[in-house]
Structure 1
Amino acid sequence: MSGAQTIARLADWAAHRYGNEEALVFGEDRWTFTELRDRIAQVARAVIAHGIRPGDSVAVWAPNSARWVVAALGAVTAGAVLIPLNTRYRAAEAADILRRSRTRLLFTEHDFLGTDYRALLADSDEELPLLDTTVTLHSPEWSGFLTGADRVTEEERLARTTAVRPKDTADILFTSGTTGSPKGVPTTHAQNLRVYDTWARAVTLRHGDRYLLVNPFFHTFGYKAGVVACLLHGATIVPEQVFDARTVLGRLQDERISVLTGAPTVFTSLIHHPERKAYDLSSMRMAVTGAANIPTELIEQIRECLGARNISTAYGLTEATGVVAICRPQESPETLARTSGTALEGTELRVDAPPGEPGEILTRGFHVMHGYLDDPESTAEAVDGNGWLHTGDVGVLDEHGFLRITDRLKDMFVVGGFNVYPAEVEQVLRGHPSVVDAAVVGTPDDRLGEVGVAYCVPAAGAAIDAADLTAYTRERLANFKAPRAFHHLAALPHNAAGKVDKGALRRLARETPA
């Protein structure tokens, strides 16, 4: 594993090891590992100057960029705990996480896809009494913030960095649960470094690779399997803010990209782009994707059409530091498509059912969270007394230890790579004056994998207006959480136990056009 020991020391370690090799490319910025380290150290000194103490929370609510990297790692280097925020959050969602994580410093943006995050918070009624400072990354504020670095010596910064211990919390990522309330998942420096060193070796990420990061940095796949893994193994970080197939094809060619990771839809869009053959993709070497069901043809097409010889698939969840199982590139296309591989090296994986039968997936090891933030009851439900994390997903484990995901115990569904928890959406829908009750389920979608379908019981004399409910939910939730269809029901179906019969609704959704 890396000699860095903590993410706080990772930039220093990478600069010592990889020096003047190219570390990061974004727009006109081309930084070596040494230059990246210097910028991260400058941010760390500025963070210290602004009164951030070891263990304080610092959030980043912004799209992928070079400044996201230096802001996030600068905060961690100063001993802070990183809180990445989803760029699709609305004000109430972001404010809830900022409050519960006790965030004192927020890095954000004033314009991303038409959204001014700072104004979004300012214009809301949300109270954030602990938030002392907000800095917009791409504005004159950034330069002003960095001037604080002049008040802190590099010796002071190094002392703060070296004081961070491997078992200290490095970050807290928030993931919704079946109650609809997001849960904070703290992970340590040691967990992150070990998991992503192991992951990188398994998928064959290596020194000299050029890695196009289309996965958002607020997600484990973007930040940890991206930025952290690149620093560990000497690969070049190439952030991409928004996935656009034509733009990405150009970036693959112009930057001689060798590594691309993403949901199956990322690769499908590139493969079927009408101008794909006009681009030189000969530098492509490695691809990583993951989903419950991937067509074997897609694995073969990634190799044939995009040139990635090393393809891996994987399965994970935030509570397991993002990785549970990996299917390595030497496996057949059928195995890569049909399974998520075997347990992450050094961990245990089992299914709560007889061999070959579907059951709940359980995992145990160094990658499992120590507990949800301020939520011992949910922690006890998720991690049993023997250290097994109950994932809530259903799978089958074959005689060779290969895991096949078959279903979910929880109602969660995945829209374009983002988890959606129906309870949260249902709670919003019940707040609409025309809705008495609501149930949301996921249904297959060719482009996004799954989309939400809402079944609503109207109030007396009211009607279910799809356009009105779409606008209502998108004002209050990230757009990927908003259902794509709304249907009227006189009453929701219930099973013998008195619970809403989501299985019946999923069958109905598959039979009813959106």
Structure 2
Amino acid sequence: MLTLRDEGLGSWLHRRARTRADRPAWSGAGEPPVTYAEAARRCDRVAHGLARRGIRPGDRVAYLGPNHPSFLEALFATAAAGAVFVPLNTRLTVPELRHQLDDSGATLLVVAPGQDAGGLETGTVTVDDLDDGVDAGPPGLPITHADPAVILYTSGTTGAPKGAVLTHGNLTWNALDVLLDVDVRADERALVYTPLFHSAALGMVTLPVLLRGGHVALQPSFDAATVLRRVTDERITLMFGVPATYDAVAALPEFDAADLSSLRTLLCGGAPVPVATIRTWQDRGLVFLQGYGMTEASPGVLLLDAEHATRKAGSAGVPHFFTDVRVRTPDGADARPGERGEVLVRAPHLMDGYWGRPDATTEAIEEGGWFRSGDVACVDDDGYVRIVDRLKDMYVSGGENVYPAEVESAVHDFPGVADCAVVGVADERWGEVGRVVVVPAARARIDPDELVAFLRGRLAGYKVPRSVVFADHLPRTPSGKLRKNEIAATHGGRGEQSGDPGT
């Protein structure tokens, strides 16, 4: 029996291969699955290849590429080598990528097959370059749960991205939370199409499924038709997505007739989830679980359990098993039921800090280990938490706080709305008023006056946007969050209803 000194992610494949050696661990799109035993041997060889390249414990190894088996091979090999894995966002520009490479101090860049790394000075290799084909067993380093495993860069919607340092213990505790609260099974076939460089795809699906011994089926990028086809053809059981991807799949003409009987669990997060999105999938008899998390928490914080998924639809749920959450008012007290406050999080899966940013770490994590999320929420009488909005997105109209996410949820209920965003714009009388930017569905015609009248029947007067504009699309981060700064810059300022309401 193999004795392992490694407590971290680098040992997971060997530990799981003890009972599921011949079961599939992962597969790429259109590729045969790799078993746990094969994956363990491959990652051992790549870990030794990293050492031959001069990588030592604590060094940073970056990765650039779409969802592909080489991502997971590089992740587990880097962990086994005692180094720190830094996955990069493939949608960034070369200067943005270079900033993250420089900021993390990465000395090696691993790229996916066919990935262009032009303009990046860091030494570049593929996983195949690191594998000499000689099985030498695991490196055998004494890695502990306290050692850093991954640096994940935040989305950077409010400034330069910061690198959240997640330890082996952080990622393990988060995976345990998911196993306990989502009921992940050993026979899972999880489709992962959201980017692995995003914490939800990695922490809420991939790592928990591999820890449990299931099969992770990777897809390089999102395509609604491909997702639906793979769900039916490959009998997918588990899937994570953001609201926009679920809406796109449900909008397909073939959705209503598709055989979705294999799906046991659908996880959704990354952005406020419109109730209409939840209902669409629940109407198919599926378990649709809304959650809330953040990169700094590896990422799970709240989850709406299956038993209450319908009755509490629209809520983000209750804290994960090993997670503590407070909703704190500006005066420092815990919010009463229905009262709004900032979400604070304390958990064993909370990050070690921001890489090279002790100032930002101190600002974000208070005494006692509470992390300030910057998100506004309220709690109902049963302890279920509803995320209202980001503090930075709130605007004040006539002395009243307006949270755009609440307004956006109401706009989504209007027929013909495919996507929307609400921003505050200057107003001489009220200080600020709302403007809603609407993306009409295909062939939909939306009358601005009718939309405003619809909202007046559902929202207090001060919450109803004073103007409606139209757009072909709305910019979002890879995790599905609206880029409010860009939207405000493009559609901000004062003005009346404008734009083409669709064709």
Q: Report the TM-score, using the length of structure 1 for normalisation.
A: 0.74
Q: Distance in 1 between matches of 2:79 and 2:355?
A: 18
Relative to structure 1, the CA distance from residue 81 to residue 510 in structure 2 (aligned partners, 3 Å threshold; closer, same or farther) is farther
Aligned mates of 1:395, 1:289 — CA distance in 2? 18
Cα pair 1:176 1:182 within 8 Å, conserved: yes
DSSP-derived class of the 1:103 partner: coil
Residue from 332, 345, 355 that aligns with 1:373: 355
Structure 2: distance between partners of 1:24 and 1:159: 24
- Which of 171, 190, 197 in structure 2 is aligned with 1:218? 197
| 1:391-432 alpha-carbon deviations (Å, 9 max, x no partner) | 1011102232211111211349999xxxx9x9xxxxxxxxxx
Instruction: Write the letter of the residue equivalent to 2:234.
Output: E
Is 1:339 paired with 2:315?
Answer: yes
- Deviation track 1:421-444 (CA, whole Å, cap 9, x = no partner) reads x9xxxxxxxxxxxxxxxxxx9965
**2:161 alignment partner in structure 1:** 182
- Is residue 2:16 matched to residue 1:18? no
Aligned residue for 2:221? 242
The letter for the 1-side match of 2:374 is: G
Using the aligned pairs only, state the percent identity.
Answer: 31
Please give the secondary structure, in 2, of the residue aligned with 1:202: helix
Residue of structure 2 equivalent to 1:40? 43
Q: In 2, distance between residues paired with 1:20 and 1:241?
A: 25
Give the match for residue 339 of structure 2: 357
Matched, 1:90 2:88: no
Q: CA deviation at 1:297?
A: 4.1
State the 4+ residue runs in structure 1 displaced beyond 6 angstroms. Answer: 412-415
Distance 1:286 1:49 in 2: 42
Q: CA shift at 1:446, angstroms?
A: 5.0
Match of 1:406 in 2: 388
Residue in 2 that maps onto 1:63: 66
The answer to whether structure 1 residue 195 and structure 2 residue 174 are counterparts is: yes
Q: Which runs of 5 or more structure 1 residues have no equivalent in the other structure?
A: 123-127, 423-440, 449-469, 489-504
| Equivalent residues of 1:289, 1:314 under 8 A apart | yes
What is the one-letter code of the residue matched to 2:317? G
How has the CA–CA distance of structure 1 residues 360 and 277 changed in structure 2, closer, same or farther, with 3 Å as cutoff?
A: closer
Task: Tell me which moved more, 230-239 or 294-303.
Answer: 294-303
Displacement of 1:279:
3.5
The alpha-carbon distance between structure 1 residues 282 and 47, as it changes in their structure 2 partners (threshold 3 A), is same
Q: Residue 46 of structure 1: CA displacement?
A: 1.3
Question: How far off is 1:87 after superposition?
Answer: 0.9
Distance 1:512 1:396, change over 3 A: farther
- In angstroms, what is the RMSD of aligned CA positions? 3.3
> Alignment partner of 2:165: what SS?
strand
Q: CA deviation at 1:5?
A: 3.7
Q: Secondary structure at the match of 2:392?
A: coil
1:275 maps to 2:278: no
- Whether the 8 Å contact between 2:147 and 2:167 is mirrored in structure 1 is yes
Tell me the alpha carbon deviations over residues 81-108 of structure 1, each in whole angstroms, 9 at most, x when there is no partner: 0101111011011111111111111112
The corresponding residue for 1:465 is none
Q: C-alpha distance in 2, partners of 1:244/1:322?
A: 24
Structure 1 pair 443/171, CA: closer, same or farther in 2 (3 Å)?
farther
Matches within 5 A, 1:134-173: 134-135=124-125, 137=126, 142-147=127-132, 150=134, 154-155=136-137, 157-160=138-141, 163-173=142-152
Letter paired with 2:139? L
Residue in 1 that maps onto 2:187: 208
Match of 1:118 in 2: 117
Residue 74 of structure 1 aligns to a residue in which SS?
helix
> Separation in 2 of the partners of 1:40 and 1:105?
17
Once the two structures are superposed, residues 363-387 of structure 1 have per-residue CA deviations (whole angstroms, 9 ceiling, x without a partner) of 1121222321111111121111222
Q: Please state if 1:254 is matched with 2:233.
A: yes
Q: 1:104-144 deviations in whole A, cap 9, x for unaligned? A: 11112475xxxx5312x25xxxxx5xx3x301x4xxxx544
Q: How many equivalent pairs are there?
A: 419
352-361 or 234-243, larger mean C-alpha shift = 352-361
Do the aligned residues in 1 keep the contact of 2:42 with 2:131 (CA within 8 Å)?
no
Q: Secondary structure at the match of 2:190?
A: strand
Name structure 2 gaps, 5 residues minimum.
330-334, 395-403, 409-420, 424-433, 442-472
